[in-house]
């Protein structure tokens, strides 16, 4: 597999999956279950794992401050069940795709499933907790949402691999966000408002990276920091390359083409305006 194809495949997967975190239907569906605010995100994404405590979410989501999660999961599971949250998540996707007219044709759905299903079926799930939990779910009856769920398995699989590399390279949860902000891929405001690391924690993590020569005191990446981050991204792609073996470069590229109308429709509808 060409690593550029692997990377592009990840981008198409991530752009397709992420709609569930930004569409207004998510707020509505989770609130109907009594789960509001950021607890809806934690509960819906953790639902495949079961009624897990805070500590499991801290471990698997990785880059959130433990403080923003503390006490949330017990409240979520006292209010509703993982099965109900997962069903709501599927409704979110179905409603959002319909609202922005992002449904694929039956021919495109059939072709996309013929490509993605053998990839998901042959995944090595050892050490991939979020991917494994999502792979264990029964696919929903709605074919469009079922395709999205298969995409979700692959998205979480790469995320699990990336976290393993962050740990191997001794990059902590807050430190990885500083590197991400330093590249310009995420704003400090967005990170602060969602991941909730306080100023003292951010400063301490920045100091760690300064000591390693990866960032300047203001968080700007040094040349070494840029090289190290690019290396970790390349290593992530390298470790993800084998999963695409069942369909090869051509199949992976074609899957990206088939998924692209979903992101295009969501983007055109202003779904990701908050990221601008």
How do residues 62-116 score in pLDDT, each as one tens digit? 999 999 999 999 999 999 999 999 999 999 999 999 999 999 999 999 999 999 9
Confirm if 260 and 151 have CB atoms less than 8 A apart: no
Residue 276 has pLDDT above 80, yes or no: no
Confidence of residue 192 (pLDDT cuts 50, 70, 90): confident
| Distance, CA of 19 to CA of 35 (rounded, Å) | 19
pLDDT of res. 62: 95
Residue indicated by tokens 């691999």: 161
| Distance, CA of 39 to CA of 71 (rounded, Å) | 10
Confirm if 235 and 7 have CB atoms less than 8 A apart: no
The predicted model gives 246-253 an average pLDDT of: 97
Domain that holds residue 247: 3-275
Residue indicated by tokens 């050892």: 126
Number of structural domains the chain divides into: 1
- Predicted TM-score (pTM) of this structure: 0.96
Nearest CA to 111 out of 249, 247, 264 is that of: 247
Q: Which tokens in the block code for residue 178?
A: 């500083």
- Overall residue count recorded for the chain in this entry: 276
Q: What is the dihedral of CA 253, 98, 153, 74, to 10 degrees?
A: 150
Confirm if 163 and 59 have CB atoms less than 8 A apart: no
HSE-up (13 A, CA, CB side) for residue 45: 24
């Amino acid at each position: 597999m060409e690593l550029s194809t692997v990377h592009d495949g990840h981008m198409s997967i991530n752009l397709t999956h992420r709609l569930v975190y930004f569409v207004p239907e998510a707020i509505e569906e989770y609130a109907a279950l009594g789960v509001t605010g950021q607890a809806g995100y934690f509960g819906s994404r953790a639902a495949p794992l079961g009624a897990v405590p805070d500590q499991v979410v801290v471990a698997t989501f990785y880059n959130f401050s433990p403080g923003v999660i503390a006490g949330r999961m017990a409240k979520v599971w006292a209010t509703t069940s993982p099965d109900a949250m997962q069903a709501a998540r599927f409704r979110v996707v179905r409603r959002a795709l319909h609202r922005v007219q992002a449904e694929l044709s039956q021919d495109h759905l059939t072709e996309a499933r013929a490509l993605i299903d053998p990839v998901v079926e042959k995944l090595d799930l050892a050490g991939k907790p979020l991917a494994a939990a999502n792979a264990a779910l029964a696919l929903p009856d709605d074919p469009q949402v079922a395709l999205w769920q298969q995409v979700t398995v692959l998205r979480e699989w790469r995320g699990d691999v990336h976290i393993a590399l962050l740990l191997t390279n001794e990059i902590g949860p807050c430190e990885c966000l500083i590197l991400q902000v330093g590249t310009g891929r995420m704003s400090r405001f967005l990170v602060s408002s969602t991941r909730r690391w306080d100023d003292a924690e951010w400063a301490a993590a920045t100091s760690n990276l300064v000591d390693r020569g990866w960032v300047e005191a203001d968080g700007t990446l040094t040349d070494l920091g840029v090289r190290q981050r690019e290396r970790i991204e390349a290593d992530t792609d390298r470790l993800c390359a084998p999963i695409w073996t069942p369909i090869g470069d051509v199949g992976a590229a074609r899957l990206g083409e088939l998924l692209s109308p979903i992101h295009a429709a969501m983007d055109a509808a202003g779904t990701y305006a908050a990221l601008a």
